[in-house]
């Protein structure tokens, strides 16, 4: 495992889906910064399961306890450790997967990697549950970024081909980011969100699941940040974003669409706006040569459909706890699972972006 | 700048487009491995400019000199340093850009980052020329991977909407990888390649440029490699791939397409194939939970159209060497540039994949 | 702060002397290794305060709670998080030091670094109390090393000029290491230990404190480990050892004594011992060129006298919580402090060595 | 091998004693800093062999060629690569050591580590020759530090028990540092230096060698730098200093002497000096809790006697190029070697300190 990220800011995530606790250590935050815990808790609630019927019915309050690093809600320069106790644990749901790896999950690959000694319950350390501590860290980073005039927000751009409006890559505003962050179902177009929800019900009724695309914008990052060749903006953000299970793609600015365009259409004309250099369009998504341009940072991530489905699937049944020999079998997954993880992944993408951006703009300690 | 990548294997890239030399230090290779320099030179020639008329007419032999790390063509455990002299330098082509940032390039962002002290000639350290030392490192990694039974190959999947066949994600073979690596224009379908080339000529005649998509496959990686949460296969590969200028997106397996599918269509059924666990399909692209599954590793990257175009563009002219004040102006770029960088980026993508994969499978030293 | 160490094994330490909890995350341990918690607890008790009257009377059971990373006392490949609640907290003892920095402590330097926002109670994150989680990590590493045939033990080589015998650098045995690790006062010569203890009482009665030297030996490390130039054995071990507050020097093998010798006296003759290459003497302390030689690894660390003393000292009293202006004052430190930290530092040195050695011999994950 | 150091500043050293070239890549320097090459060359000449008859008679001009990273002698933000060609190579001197490991050298340990594939000529990558690129990097860092008001200088504190005066740890001045840096034989007391030189001749005449102690001081570092727990001042400096072959110990401030003192004698009283907090004495060597105190940073390193001696020694002769079987033999080393490496190690220690300090005070890039 390599559950630590960062250069200036170090994020160390620990825990398993059904261990006594999960949590995060955040090292490298500047001292003397106020944390607003109410705001943090609201952010965490956007990711929490059990809030509504399109998410897993596992009920976890996800209220972190802070063991260190804070005095009177203020960072003190020492590492912050936050822990979350796992409470609503039903390991019996996972009894079978000690024997039958779930298609689309890491059960098989982790078994090979750890020789069968890994925690099989609910995906163990590789569970989506570990995005809770990622969001604790990201939620704190978001607050420090806001104190520096940087705001980050994300919305569901697509579920099963139902496409929301996209952010205006030039004019995306603080108000728009706030709006999607306050929305119960984070789309720009509420109508579109309703159609998406219908598709989610429909898939759920079929014992099936859906994937989607999330678009994230960060505004207020000054030009000049990012450290190419290997620590450019895209390298860093993708390093954290791929820590979110189910992410299978990322694109910046025009991304894969730019492959269809000519240079004259994809380049962004530059002009003087008073004393500032600006771009008329933002096909580059706020990053050129791995360095921020001062325009909004825009990226999109692909989320695969939840692999846990009730529909019967082909898999294998291992004959011993540790080996790889077995025989073919069928599997139907009956636990509590999100028919579509995309809505709950939205704050995770914001958290990942916040961690990567704060790490990038912090002076090294 | 942060021009060093890797955990077990460290790749340190140096040089500017028009500095005396460019090169790479490769630290952490095991001792006692034979390097085939003829094969390495062929690999490098696939990236070199001036080979044909769809690439830049800058003529660089790109023959690295090895200063250290090898005895009788064999690694000795000490870091390898390879340098390439820049020979065909025409800095007068870049005279204007000290004053006028090129849209779509990093001229402006680097000026902000380095306060105007950066090397402006040809993009300096941020030039695509720096993919030459990336390919030296990657070419050596490819050979060590081959010695371990792992092969990597890439092809042009799309240029301007003209789509090549894709690799069969289950059956892609050594022969197919070799075929695209030997082809002068690396497509699976030769006919398709010809149509792409026509589109490139057409864009060139219009003073314009094209982008595209590259697909890469790695076969022979055993199951169980990759270190989630933050050093999973996708995190690592994207960290290196985004070091290639012009890359603006990456997706693994089904990638963005999986966002359109239901879980029942996207999951890959598992079965016993003799004593081995295999998947019937490979929508997961050879990686589950950040860990290799033993199936071919498949990913695609989006390449934006070359920003350097002859067509006139809007930009600004800075009034002093270091500040950011200026006035609006027009710019037409007249140097020697690839109308489509995609063909030459193909070996760069292979190199990036090889570096990431070797770093991942090497035992830590 | 930079409270994370390691390349293959990552140790992330958090907490402050009087925060709700302190602890450690250990990432990168191989899966399937049994942890003996009774043995771990005995190891931790050697460092705990309040055990006898030459140590601080702060009474902390130092029993870690393990939140993650273990199943049935077996590592599962996921990061281990262990937390220790701070119980016997008397912050009123530290009231004055918010205003008066203690000579020899980091109160002043941390105030400058963190602008006065740091946790002042008992030294905060820079307290010796943070060696408790270091010992949790080190104690686990010691067990994994023992499973690999490597044993590490340390003893008090000197307190205030009273010198214990040293380990025989060639013949030091498992029995000798066990003996000092079981001893209540860890010296080779029990008589010498008694004289040391008298010196400690005497200093304590005078309101003063003593320092000393600790010698550590590791046996069973095969030849060939260590990664020069910058990750050689000495670089790695000193990186961890200097994490122990009060350490102010380290030497390997003959160390500073070798500066007095001629090469003919300091070099160690080599010979064939059956099929093995061995050295007749071990002035090199088991490491040549940063790489282990197969001989016992021997190093010594200097521990400065406890800075907290009852004798009145000159210091300054800051006039505001955050600035650096103030006036001269006197200070007498009345809290519960070790008159000599050396005995309790012995297991810390073993822990530091174990962490560095395990990180070095682990294959990279 | 792990030949890369640093967090904000990355130093990557390559080359072997008799490879075509050796060199260094320096990544992370701020842009726009002038390098004085005359001053750099003088610094390098202090380390160069062949300057006088107490150093190796190998004659190497050690004039680096800079391939990248500089424009008009000014850093441009891109990595600097400097290479030095090896010219005066006499590999026949090393013929025998392919078979007979030299006591006190890394011949045996490297053979084990690299399975016999390592470069045996002159110690290969583990040779003291690799301190030449270390000094190129360190010499550049020294200049950037001077631009920031920080000066570093070192002198020979002891050779074979002949002790020079030590720096006054409170009052050490720029003039004193300059004086020892200009001296041909770097001692504070010229008389003492002459006695040392006589001891060196005497050892040389006997076919033997001497070790010693080097003391280093850095003045002008503001209080508040250093990142405990694991990246404190001592951790960082020792990480680089142990990259110098032959270093076998390091101590800060009072170091091992503090082990003999009581706290009341070792603590440094604090007082207000105008608006500044100062210490009356500097037994802490300018670092408390891993963080600089604003007082001069003082440390000493032990250098073992040169292992290469003409006096006959016992060793083994391997019977095959790669295995470890062999028979006992005698060895007398006849190449060109320093009878005492200490004088040439003085600038290396300054270089190591400069690299560690600049890495510590640089904002992260």
Question: Are the beta carbons of A31 and C80 separated by less than 8 Å?
Answer: no
Question: Are the beta carbons of C32 and A110 separated by less than 8 Å?
Answer: no
Predicted local confidence at residue C122, as pLDDT: 85
Q: To the nearest whole angstrom, how far is the Cα of C29 from the nearest Cα of chain B?
A: 12
Cα(C286)–Cα(C294) distance, integer angstroms: 6
Chain B touched by A178 (CB under 8 Å)? no
Which ipTM did the prediction report? Answer: 0.96
Predicted local confidence at residue C274, as pLDDT: 87
Contact A301, B256 (CB under 8 A): no
Distances (CA, A) of C341 to C46, C55, C159, D217: 12, 7, 10, 28
Expressed in angstroms, the distance from the first to the final Cα of chain B is 25
Q: To the nearest whole angstrom, how far is the Cα of D339 from the nearest Cα of chain B?
A: 27
- DSSP state at residue D1: -
Predicted local confidence at residue D92, as pLDDT: 61
Q: To the nearest whole angstrom, how far is the Cα of A324 from the nearest Cα of chain D?
A: 34
Nearest to B211 by CA among A238, A298, A283, A294: A283
> Three-class SS of residue D44?
helix
In this complex, the residue of C227, C362, C365 whose CB is nearest that of residue B227 is C365
Residues 6+ apart with CB under 8 A from B271: A314, A315, A316, A328, B277, B278, B279, B280
Cα(C99)–Cα(A139) distance, integer angstroms: 34
Predicted local confidence at residue D69, as pLDDT: 98
> Three-class SS of residue B161?
coil
Q: How high does pLDDT run on average in chain A?
A: 93
Q: At what angle do helices C233-241 and D233-241 cross, to 10 degrees?
A: 170
> Three-class SS of residue C291?
strand
Q: Count of residues for chain B?
A: 365
* Six-digit token string for B307: 């920003």
Chain B touched by A289 (CB under 8 Å)? yes
Cα(C157)–Cα(C342) distance, integer angstroms: 10
Confidence of residue D365 (pLDDT cuts 50, 70, 90): very low
Cα(D109)–Cα(D120) distance, integer angstroms: 11
Contact C282, C170 (CB under 8 A): yes
Count the alpha carbons within 13 Å of B265 in the hemisphere toward its beta carbon.
12
Question: Are the beta carbons of B114 and D31 separated by less than 8 Å?
Answer: yes
Distances (CA, A) of A79 to C12, C154, C234, D339: 9, 30, 27, 49
Q: From C226, which residue of chain B is nearest by alpha-carbon distance? A: B365
> Three-class SS of residue A278?
strand
> Three-class SS of residue C10?
strand
Chain A touched by C112 (CB under 8 Å)? no
Cα(A244)–Cα(A118) distance, integer angstroms: 19
- DSSP state at residue D130: G
Cα(D20)–Cα(D336) distance, integer angstroms: 19
Chain D touched by C289 (CB under 8 Å)? yes
Nearest to D273 by CA among C107, C321, C316: C316
Instruction: Tell me the pLDDT tens digit for each residue of D219-241.
Output: 999 999 999 999 999 999 999 99
Predicted local confidence at residue B90, as pLDDT: 64
Chain A touched by B196 (CB under 8 Å)? no
Mean pLDDT confidence for A308-317: 96
User: What does R_g of chain A's alpha carbons equal in angstroms?
Assistant: 21
Chain B touched by D71 (CB under 8 Å)? yes
Q: At what angle do helices D342-361 and D233-241 cross, to 10 degrees?
A: 140
Largest CA distance in chain C: 72
Report field, pTM of the whole predicted structure over 0.95: yes
Instruction: Please tell me the least confidently modeled range out of A320-334, C232-246, C343-357.
Output: A320-334
Chain D touched by C104 (CB under 8 Å)? yes
> Three-class SS of residue D202?
helix
Nearest to D56 by CA among D84, D88, D24, D83: D88
Q: To the nearest whole angstrom, how far is the Cα of A355 from the nearest Cα of chain C?
A: 17
Task: Characterise A63 by phi-psi region: left (phi > 0), alpha (psi -120 to 50), beta (else).
Answer: beta
* Six-digit token string for A62: 């996800």
Question: Are the beta carbons of B130 and A303 separated by less than 8 Å?
Answer: no
* Six-digit token string for C31: 């899966």
Confidence of residue A28 (pLDDT cuts 50, 70, 90): very high
Question: Are the beta carbons of A267 and B307 separated by less than 8 Å?
Answer: yes
Bigger pLDDT: B122 vs A313: A313
Q: From A352, which residue of chain B is nearest by alpha-carbon distance? A: B230
Nearest to C317 by CA among C307, C327, C308, C305: C327
Nearest to C349 by CA among C261, C237, C228: C237
CB pairs under 8 A between B and C: 15
**Host H or E run for residue A190:** helix A190-205
Predicted local confidence at residue A80, as pLDDT: 98
Residue with tokens 């197919």: B176
Chain D touched by A3 (CB under 8 Å)? no
**Host H or E run for residue B194:** helix B190-205
Confidence of residue C30 (pLDDT cuts 50, 70, 90): very high
Best of C15, C21, C25 to substitute, by most chain A Cβ atoms within 10 angstroms, is C25
Cα(D195)–Cα(C149) distance, integer angstroms: 49
Contact A300, A211 (CB under 8 A): no
Predicted local confidence at residue D320, as pLDDT: 86
Predicted local confidence at residue B95, as pLDDT: 57
Share of chain A above pLDDT 90, in %: 85
Cα(C332)–Cα(C16) distance, integer angstroms: 23
Question: Are the beta carbons of C67 and A83 separated by less than 8 Å?
Answer: yes
Q: To the nearest whole angstrom, how far is the Cα of B228 from the nearest Cα of chain C?
A: 10
Predicted local confidence at residue B63, as pLDDT: 92
Computed from CA positions of residues A198, A204, A210, A215, in that sequence, does the dihedral angle turn out positive or negative? positive
Cα(D353)–Cα(C115) distance, integer angstroms: 26
* Six-digit token string for C270: 């080599």
Core vs surface per residue C109-132: b (16+ CB within 10 A) or e: bbbbbbbbbbbbbbbbbbbbbbbb
DSSP string, A61-96: ---PEEEESEETTEE-SSPEEEEEE--S--GGGGTG
Task: Kindly give the residue spans of alpha helices, DSSP state H, lying in A243-323.
Answer: 263-266
Residue with tokens 């920003």: B307
> Three-class SS of residue A193?
helix
Chain B touched by A259 (CB under 8 Å)? yes
Predicted local confidence at residue D147, as pLDDT: 96
Q: To the nearest whole angstrom, how far is the Cα of A362 from the nearest Cα of chain D?
A: 7
Cα(C79)–Cα(B228) distance, integer angstroms: 11
Predicted local confidence at residue B365, as pLDDT: 47
Mean pLDDT confidence for D125-150: 97
Restricting to A residues 75-94, those with a Cβ less than 8 Å away from any Cβ of C are 75-81, 83
Task: Characterise A207 by phi-psi region: left (phi > 0), alpha (psi -120 to 50), beta (else).
Answer: left
Q: At what angle do helices A342-361 and A233-241 cross, to 10 degrees?
A: 140
**Cβ neighbours of B184 (radius 10 Å):** 10
Distances (CA, A) of A101 to A105, A263, C30: 8, 47, 22
Chain B touched by A123 (CB under 8 Å)? yes
Count the alpha carbons within 13 Å of D128 in the hemisphere toward its beta carbon.
27
Cα(B312)–Cα(B298) distance, integer angstroms: 39
**Cβ neighbours of C220 (radius 10 Å):** 16
E strand spans, D50-128: 65-68, 70-71, 74-75, 80-85
Cα(A200)–Cα(A337) distance, integer angstroms: 12
Cα(A332)–Cα(A314) distance, integer angstroms: 9
Nearest to C46 by CA among C162, C169, C204, C156: C156
Cα(B282)–Cα(C79) distance, integer angstroms: 30
Nearest to D252 by CA among D294, D212, D296: D296
Note down pLDDT in tens along chain B; length 365 residues. 789 999 999 999 999 999 999 999 999 999 999 999 999 999 999 998 766 666 666 666 789 999 999 999 999 999 999 999 998 766 565 555 578 999 999 999 999 999 999 998 888 999 999 999 999 999 999 999 999 999 999 999 999 999 999 999 999 999 999 999 999 999 999 999 999 999 999 999 999 999 999 999 999 999 999 999 999 999 999 999 999 999 999 999 999 999 999 999 999 999 999 889 999 999 999 999 999 999 999 999 999 999 999 999 999 999 988 888 999 999 999 877 889 999 999 999 999 999 999 999 997 54
* Six-digit token string for D350: 């300054």
Q: To the nearest whole angstrom, how far is the Cα of A363 from the nearest Cα of chain D?
A: 5
In this complex, the residue of A213, A293, A328 whose CB is nearest that of residue B271 is A328
Chain A touched by D68 (CB under 8 Å)? no
How buried is B32 (Cβ within 10 angstroms: 0-12 exposed, 13-18 middle, 19+ buried)?
Answer: middle
pLDDT at A73 over 60: yes
Cα(D300)–Cα(A299) distance, integer angstroms: 52
Chain A touched by B274 (CB under 8 Å)? no
Cα(D210)–Cα(C265) distance, integer angstroms: 10
**Cβ neighbours of A153 (radius 10 Å):** 27
Instruction: Tell me the pLDDT tens digit for each residue of C79-137.
Output: 999 999 998 766 565 555 578 999 999 999 999 999 999 998 888 999 999 999 999 99
Confidence of residue C3 (pLDDT cuts 50, 70, 90): very high
Confidence of residue C185 (pLDDT cuts 50, 70, 90): very high
Q: To the nearest whole angstrom, how far is the Cα of B37 from the nearest Cα of chain A?
A: 26
Best of C9, C10, C357, C365 to substitute, by most chain B Cβ atoms within 10 angstroms, is C365
Restricting to B residues 216-235, those with a Cβ less than 8 Å away from any Cβ of C are 227
Predicted local confidence at residue B53, as pLDDT: 60
Question: Are the beta carbons of B104 and A161 separated by less than 8 Å?
Answer: no
Question: Are the beta carbons of C1 and D106 separated by less than 8 Å?
Answer: no
């Amino acid at each position: 495992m390599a559950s630590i990220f960062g250069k200036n800011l170090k994020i160390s995530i620990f825990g398993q889906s059904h261990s006594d606790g999960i949590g995060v250590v955040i090292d490298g935050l500047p001292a003397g910064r106020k944390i607003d815990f109410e705001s943090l808790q609201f952010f965490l609630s956007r990711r929490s399961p059990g809030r509504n019927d399109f998410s897993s019915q596992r009920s976890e309050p996800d209220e972190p306890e802070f063991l260190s690093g804070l005095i009177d809600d203020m960072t003190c320069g020492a590492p912050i450790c936050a822990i979350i106790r796992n409470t609503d644990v039903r390991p019996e749901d996972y009894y079978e997967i000690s024997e039958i790896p779930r298609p689309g999950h890491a059960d098989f690959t982790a078994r090979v990697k750890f020789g069968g000694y890994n925690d099989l319950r609910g995906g163990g350390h590789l569970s989506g549950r570990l995005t809770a501590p990622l969001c604790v860290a990201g939620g704190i980073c978001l607050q420090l970024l806001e104190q520096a005039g940087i705001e980050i927000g994300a919305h569901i751009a697509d579920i099963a081909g139902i496409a929301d409006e996209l952010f205006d890559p030039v004019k995306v505003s603080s108000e728009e980011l706030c709006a999607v962050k306050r929305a119960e179902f984070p789309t720009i177009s509420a109508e579109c969100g309703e159609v998406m929800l219908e598709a989610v019900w429909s898939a759920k009724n079929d014992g099936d699941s859906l994937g989607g695309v999330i678009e994230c914008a960060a505004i207020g990052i000054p030009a000049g940040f990012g450290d190419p060749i290997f620590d450019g903006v895209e390298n860093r953000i993708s390093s954290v974003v791929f820590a979110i299970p189910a992410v299978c793609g990322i694109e910046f600015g025009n991304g894969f669409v730019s492959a269809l365009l000519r240079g004259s259409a994809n380049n962004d004309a530059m002009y003087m706006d008073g004393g500032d250099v600006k771009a008329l369009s933002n096909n580059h998504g706020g990053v050129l040569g791995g360095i921020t341009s001062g325009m909004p940072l825009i990226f999109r991530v692909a989320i695969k459909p939840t692999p846990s489905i009730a529909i019967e699937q082909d898999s294998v049944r291992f004959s011993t706890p540790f080996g790889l020999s077995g025989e073919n079998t069928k599997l139907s997954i009956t636990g509590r699972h999100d028919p579509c993880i995309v809505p709950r992944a939205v704050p995770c993408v914001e958290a990942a972006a916040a961690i990567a951006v704060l790490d990038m703009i912090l002076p090294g300690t």
